[in-house]
Amino acid sequence: MADVTHDLVGRATPLPRFIGSEIYRNSSYGAWHPLRVPRVSTVMDLSRALGWLPSAQFVVSPRAKAAALEGYHTPAYLAALQQAEAAQAVTEDVRQRHGLGTPSNPVFPEMYRRPATSAGASLLAGELLAQGGVIYSPAGGTHHGMPDRANGFCYLNDPVLAIQSLRRNGARRIAYVDIDAHHPDGVEHAFADDPETLLVSVHEENRWPRSGQITVRGAGNLFNLPVPAGLHDDEMALIRDTVILPTVAAFRPDAIVLQCGADAVTEDPQSRLRLSNNAHWAIVAALRPLAPRYLVLGGGGYNPWSVGRLWAGVWAVLNDFEIPDVLPPAAQAVLAALTWQGPIRQHRPEPHWIATLRDQPRVGPIGDDVRQRADHLAARQVVWL
């Protein structure tokens, strides 16, 4: 396979690259934590089973050194995180100050190495995109991490580090778009007052961290759109076409970072939204032409079948691969081998979770509240000079 493709006017561009690592294959936050399920390894295995991930497009993620993480995180926090991994325990002072050793952010064997690897991927992505292109890092998207503490399953904030790396490597104006079910409070903390970073977030209202109330502009370029439970594909398409795409296009970014959390689909236990994976894929495709540098990250996603299928489909979209109606046996075997043990029972997959990648569309009438909120943000869009 050639290592370049061509854009619409015939210019040679590098093929999309997938940054991954084997560290995620056997790493778990614990037997009862939502992140007990395999995710990145499933995407890697599915993509290879479908013939979509040749070695020329796969990049092994480096593990970021602590000094490289100090662009956002404090030295004291990074030292505490490393010590917690080494000791497999934390003191009460560390728990209170840094949020480590809590039910959300537990002590587990790879609690520094695993997030440092996803952060290393985001830092590397900024370097690889210096001359343009597309990078996919499904292990990224840990958008809740704060400078001095773990937050919301996120020990480090790799989207913030990615934006910083992109800027060091020539991207001045950066658009960050987040379609995870949860508001990216850590990224907003870092860039809400930065006029050269556009933040657009669509997230479920009244869901943890219960930030991100409807916002336009702010001190920087901040567009928050909380949406009601039950949001479906047609409503997300309205938001995509009236809020996300016009706002990003008007900003004229040098780079786009998309956090593509998979927890907004119907099957996910951590939200009450009703999207199919088609809604995510449509946004992935629509944003791609709007900047010369494009970084797509993972994020939330807690049903192993739905997150694996959605994120494998993201890789297909980025490469213009055709998604088959029925998966070949090797790909079905990857999905059939997954298990999902909950606190009370073992979850059983629906047949289409094994046989297909694409969900049936989840459509319906546009709710008045969704339309009014989208119209409110659309009316406040500006053209940046």
Catalytic residues: 144
What type of residue sits at position 300?
A: G
Q: Which of 311, 287, 273 is nearest to 139 (CA)?
A: 311
Beta bridge partners, 17, equal 135
φ, ψ of residue 355 to 5 degrees: the values are -90, -20
Q: Is the dihedral of CA 329, 335, 338, 340 positive or negative?
A: negative
d(CA 117, CA 20): 9
Tokens of 331: 């790909």
φ, ψ of residue 165 to 5 degrees: the values are -65, -40
Bridging pattern class, strands 197-204 and 174-178: parallel
What DSSP assignment string belongs to 207-258? -TT----SEEETTTEEEEEEE-TT--HHHHHHHIIIIIHHHHHHH--SEEEE
CB atoms within 10 A of CB 206: 9
d(CA 123, CA 159): 9
What DSSP assignment string belongs to 67-105? HHHTTTS-HHHHHHHHHHHHHT---HHHHHHH--SSSSS
d(CA 284, CA 307): 15
